[in-house]
Amino acid sequence: MNTYLICGLGNPGDKYAETRHNIGFKALEEIYSGGDFDDPKEEKKFSSLISSSQSGDKKIILALPLTYMNKSGEAIQKIKSYFKIPKQNIIIIYDDIDLPPGEIRIRKKGGPGTHNGMKSIIQSLGTEDFARIRIGIGEPYPPQKDLSTYVLEPFTKKEKETLDPKIKNIPTIVKDFLETGIEAAMNKWN
């Protein structure tokens, strides 16, 4: 059986729920709402909310790390090790300040940029070689604002109107990745 890990990045707690930095959590909630997965349950040994499903010869684990963004790698490493998930079967969904609001980009690998969650994951896994779905939250963000302040603010009404329909595509993007592979998903969605 092939095991896949789909992880949405964000910060736990109501205080952060509607912030730009939590778009990875929102994307996973969209997958949960499709009905193929049970609501996530807290798994302390993984420092995450976890849900899983099976489709043919694939086991799919959805994870929302509860470690706060800058320690996301700790949770992902625990899940990867426990389930013996190969790096090519990991997809990280997260916010990207360098993309316009709602723009979605799929990549096979790459550096973390300014994203502390991705820095943590790359450090914990010891590689940049895993798939990611980047969801735009910026470009340009107001130059007078500190980046950490900007990502922890809620979306504006206009941003939500742009983002909400795009987030609805995430379950289909993930399904395409699982069924046809990263290259085909990139060709279709990028």
My answer on whether omega of the bond before 140 falls inside 30° of 0, hence cis, is: yes
CB 74 within 8 A of CB 107: no
Distances (CA, A) of 127 to 13, 47, 109, 120, 180: 29, 21, 9, 11, 23
Known catalytic residue at 21: yes
Give SS3 for 112: coil
What distance in Å separates the CA atoms of residue 98 and residue 144, rounded to the nearest whole number? 16
In the set 20, 21, 26, 134, the catalytic residue is 21
As annotated, the active-site residues are 21
